[in-house]
């Protein structure tokens, strides 16, 4: 197991020939969130990413360009390094497999395995895929094509060196069974176990003859061969600890806490890498987490379709933290997700502008106008149950919910928990109505108490959000008058309530997230208006549905919907209902099955609602929602639904229609 005070997180090393796309950004941003979170918790963090620069495709691309393979790699490598800087990635090291230090470690491990008679030479005939740089057997092929990339293969007969991978099959099965978190999520663990328990694990060809491929790390025991690119690449996770810092870090950080990978390279990590480590008598990583893929508007990303999402183009158009937020909020980490520009804009407007940005704007405006821009003091005698509720929600977020979700890589659940506090805080402002407390001097203690709670909640939200949106939080802190940055460990006192010092001067600045008009043309720079300070308003309260406006052109007037009569509307029975239970519908990411109460003396009613991407089931239990009570029952995925819940959103659900006050279930909604 890994060391208790350290945390070692890795991304895959990305192929140098690739053009960076949204998938690369997704993995690396997720790793960055983990790294930043554990630094805040006081762990000694080492975050590694880098590039895989060997193999046949690199050799062929360099030859086509008429340059040396190393020069080819040197030309391409900066595209990744610059992107990580742009996305605010806090990696501690960046490895390239052409580094001399890496090569020497790979050769040392190869020699060790060879000396221990775990590598042997044999003839081999198989079907070779140049794109994947991998041999396949006849039975592996699908319609004569590579089963992975669906490209043509060629039959090759070669003398090659083989690693005795097969002899570790039973030991690997036992390890996976003994450590349930070794491969995550659970569905990927089951895939690997299914593969290992239903077929014999063969030995692994770990060499390529120089006559066919010269661009690679030479075998130390046979100069006519180079190392198979995957053996070379996987060793990076340990070689980086040996040479990328002045002192070796292997004893301090190995085994890795988390290897983050895409699901397409799970087998190479869970099987190849694990058996290599066993053969080298090295401990296995604590966790290999294989996340899903992104589609684009429902279609698989591919160059031929022309729909590959370029994170540089996204960064040209949107704020970096909006991209980071969207990637980890939109879908549960581990599942496949669908990227759409419209969905990103919707998230910016609903969550970031109308939610967090609105809360900061109205808080600072009220403090500026009522206490001279100074953080007021909360008066204990003026506190009510509303303050207790807000304080407890903040403490639960800091000390429970973040710790239960982020270490398990449940990023979307962590962000949902943070936004529940954002929503609660905006509701708190509406309920306390501080703008009504400004006229009488006897209301000053209550006003100051409310304003302090608004500001302190923003501090808590900033601390919670820092791993996800570091630039935004630094800006939020600056506007609150806080000088501290969250780049390193924070004393435990920061994770308690009441750390915002009364008397500090706020520095109200630009809107965190100006609203983006939905019809903004693709490619338009939606962050340009961030340089314009928000204009003063005449009214003190800021409705929760309003955010600072951008200078984008006005949207065309919408077409008026078809009108109905009052008699037609009165046929619809809207009633309040209390959620008793909630669970996911199997094989559906979208559907939740709810049991709701319409009051005493009535049978619980079952409703199937398409809100599963927006809400975790347990977060709905106890909520008072609004339903269409007289809708004719219908079946969704074979489950009867006896009504419909009301929710806001266009193509996607953005929020449920709920009741703020205590209202009995079954109450008619007018």
Half-sphere exposure of residue 214: CA atoms within 13 angstroms, side-chain side: 7
Tokens 């360009």: give the residue.
65
pLDDT at 232: 96
The answer to whether residue 544 sits within a structural domain is no
Mean pLDDT of 561-577: 74
Same domain as 377, residue 475: yes
Residues 20 and 80: beta-carbon distance below 8 Å: yes
pLDDT at 550: 31
Where is pLDDT greater, at 285 or 580? Answer: 285
Same domain as 83, residue 163: yes
Same domain as 502, residue 600: no
Same domain as 247, residue 159: yes
Same domain as 574, residue 527: no
pLDDT at 440: 83
Give the residues across from 227 on adjacent strands. Answer: 207
* DSSP classification of residue 538: S
Tokens 């294989």: give the residue.
290
208-249 tens-digit pLDDT: 999 989 999 999 999 999 999 999 999 999 999 999 999 999
Same domain as 264, residue 123: yes
For residue 281, what are the contacts with CB-CB under 8 A and spacing of at least 6? none
Compute, in degrees rounded to 10, the torsion defined by CA atoms 316, 322, 323, 325.
170
* DSSP classification of residue 564: -
The answer to whether residue 213 sits within a structural domain is yes
The answer to whether residue 361 sits within a structural domain is yes
For residue 506, what are the contacts with CB-CB under 8 A and spacing of at least 6? 364, 367, 368, 373, 374, 375, 455, 479, 480, 481
Least-confidence region, from 110-114, 143-147, 450-454, 624-628: 143-147
pLDDT band at 114 (very low <50, low <70, confident <90, very high): very high
Query: How much of the chain, in percent, has pLDDT values that exceed 90?
Result: 64
Residues 409 and 333: beta-carbon distance below 8 Å: yes
Cα(first)–Cα(last) distance of the chain, in Å? 59
pLDDT over threshold 90, residue 655: no
- How many CB atoms are located within 10 Å of the residue 177 CB? 12
The sign of the torsion formed by the CA atoms of 312, 316, 320, 325 equals negative
Least-confidence region, from 134-148, 368-382, 486-500: 134-148
Same domain as 511, residue 612: no
CATH of the domain at 436: 1.10.730.10
The answer to whether residue 218 sits within a structural domain is yes
Q: From 54, 55, 58, select the one nearest 17 (Cα to Cα).
A: 58
Least-confidence region, from 65-74, 99-108, 358-367, 431-440: 431-440
Where is pLDDT greater, at 570 or 412? Answer: 412
- By residue range, what is the domain housing residue 626? 566-656
Whole-prediction pTM value?
0.77
Query: How much of the chain, in percent, has pLDDT values that exceed 70?
Result: 91
> Of 232, 266, 292, which residue is a domain's last?
292
pLDDT over threshold 80, residue 1: no
For residue 501, what are the contacts with CB-CB under 8 A and spacing of at least 6? 375
> Of 477, 504, 531, which residue is a domain's last?
531
pLDDT over threshold 90, residue 199: yes
337-354 tens-digit pLDDT: 888 888 999 999 999 999
The answer to whether residue 313 sits within a structural domain is no
pLDDT at 318: 93
Residues 36 and 470: beta-carbon distance below 8 Å: yes
The tally of domains found in the chain comes to: 3
- How many CB atoms are located within 10 Å of the residue 65 CB? 12
Residue 177 in tokens: 């069974």
CATH of the domain at 268: 3.40.50.620
The answer to whether residue 309 sits within a structural domain is no
Same domain as 178, residue 245: yes
Alpha helices, DSSP H only, in 119-182?
169-178
33-53 tens-digit pLDDT: 999 999 999 999 999 999 999
Mean pLDDT of 174-193: 96
Same domain as 577, residue 454: no
pLDDT over threshold 70, residue 540: no
pLDDT over threshold 50, residue 518: yes
The answer to whether residue 271 sits within a structural domain is yes
CA 379 to chain centre: 40
Where is pLDDT greater, at 4 or 451? Answer: 451
pLDDT over threshold 50, residue 528: no
Same domain as 245, residue 356: no
Same domain as 617, residue 495: no
Same domain as 234, residue 91: yes
pLDDT over threshold 90, residue 129: no
CATH of the domain at 617: 2.40.50.140
575-629 tens-digit pLDDT: 998 888 888 888 787 889 999 888 877 888 999 998 987 787 777 887 889 999 9
The answer to whether residue 318 sits within a structural domain is no
Alpha helices, DSSP H only, in 2-94?
22-40, 56-65, 69-86
Mean pLDDT of 70-78: 95
Residues 394 and 497: beta-carbon distance below 8 Å: yes
The whole-chain average pLDDT of the chain stands at: 88
């Amino acid at each position: 197991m890994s060391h208790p005070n350290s945390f070692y997180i890795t991304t895959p090393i990305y192929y140098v020939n690739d053009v960076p796309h949204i998938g690369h950004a997704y993995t690396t941003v997720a790793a960055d969130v983990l790294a930043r979170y554990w630094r805040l918790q006081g762990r000694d963090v080492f975050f590694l990413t880098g590039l895989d620069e060997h193999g046949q495709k690199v050799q062929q691309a360099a030859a086509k360009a008429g340059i040396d393979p190393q020069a080819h790699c040197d030309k391409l490598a900066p595209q990744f390094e610059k992107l990580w800087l742009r996305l605010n990635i806090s990696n501690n090291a960046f490895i390239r497999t052409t580094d001399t230090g890496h090569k020497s470690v790979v050769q040392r491990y190869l020699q060790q395995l060879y000396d221990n008679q775990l590598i042997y030479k044999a003839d081999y005939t198989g079907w070779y895929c140049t794109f994947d740089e991998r041999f396949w057997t006849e039975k592996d092929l699908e319609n004569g094509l590579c089963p992975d990339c669906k490209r043509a293969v060629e039959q090759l007969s070669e003398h090659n060196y083989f690693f005795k991978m097969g002899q570790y099959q039973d030991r690997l099965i036992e390890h996976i069974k003994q450590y349930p978190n070794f491969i995550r999520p659970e569905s990927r663990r089951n895939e690997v176990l299914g593969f290992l328990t239903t077929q014999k694990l063969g030995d692994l060809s770990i060499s390529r003859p120089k006559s066919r491929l010269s661009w690679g790390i030479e075998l130390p025991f046979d100069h006519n061969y180079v190392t198979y690119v995957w053996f070379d690449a996987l060793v990076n996770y340990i070689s980086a600890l040996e040479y990328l810092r002045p002192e070796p870090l292997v004893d301090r950080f190995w085994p890795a806490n988390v290897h983050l990978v895409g699901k397409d390279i799970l087998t190479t990590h869970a099987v190849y890498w694990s058996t290599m480590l066993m053969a080298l008598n090295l401990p296995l990583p604590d966790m290999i987490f294989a996340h899903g893929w992104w589609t684009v508007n429902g279609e698989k990303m591919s160059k031929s379709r022309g729909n590959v999402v370029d994170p540089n183009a996204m960064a040209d158009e949107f704020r970096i933290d909006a991209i980071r937020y969207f990637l980890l909020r939109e879908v549960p980490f581990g599942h496949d997700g669908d990227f759409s520009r419209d969905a990103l804009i919707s998230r910016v407007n609903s969550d970031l502008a109308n939610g967090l940005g609105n809360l900061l704007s109205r808080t600072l405006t009220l403090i500026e106008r009522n206490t001279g821009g100074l953080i007021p003091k909360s008066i204990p005698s003026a506190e009510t149950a509303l303050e207790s509720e807000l304080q407890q929600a903040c403490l639960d977020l800091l000390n429970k919910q973040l710790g239960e979700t982020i270490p398990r890589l449940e990023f979307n659940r962590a962000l949902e928990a943070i936004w529940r506090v954002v929503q609660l805080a905006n509701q708190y402002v509406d309920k306390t109505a501080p703008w009504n407390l400004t006229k009488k001097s006897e209301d000053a203690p209550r006003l100051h108490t409310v304003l302090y709670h608004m500001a302190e909640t923003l501090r808590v939200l900033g601390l919670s959000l820092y791993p996800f949106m570091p630039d935004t939080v630094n800006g939020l802190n600056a506007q609150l008058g806080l000088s501290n940055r969250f780049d390193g460990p924070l004393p435990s006192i920061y994770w308690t309530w009441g750390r915002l010092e009364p008397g500090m001067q706020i520095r109200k600045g630009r809107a965190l997230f100006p609203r983006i008009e939905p019809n903004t043309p693709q490619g338009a720079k939606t962050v340009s208006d961030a340089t314009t300070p928000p204009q003063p308003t005449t009214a003190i309260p800021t409705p929760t549905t309003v955010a600072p406006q951008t200078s984008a052109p006005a949207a065309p007037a919408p077409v008026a919907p078809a009108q109905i009569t009052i008699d037609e509307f009165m046929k619809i029975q809207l009633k309040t209902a209390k959620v008793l239970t909630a669970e996911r519908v199997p094989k559906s990411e979208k559907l939740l099955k709810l049991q709701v109460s319409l009051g005493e003396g009535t049978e619980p009613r079952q409703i199937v609602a398409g809100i599963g991407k927006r809400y975790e089931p347990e977060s709905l239990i106890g909520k008072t929602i609004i339903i269409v009570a007289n809708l004719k029952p219908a079946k969704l995925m074979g489950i009867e639904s006896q009504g419909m819940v009301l929710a806001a959103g266009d193509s996607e659900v953005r929020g449920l229609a709920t009741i703020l006050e205590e209202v009995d279930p079954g109450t008619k909604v007018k």
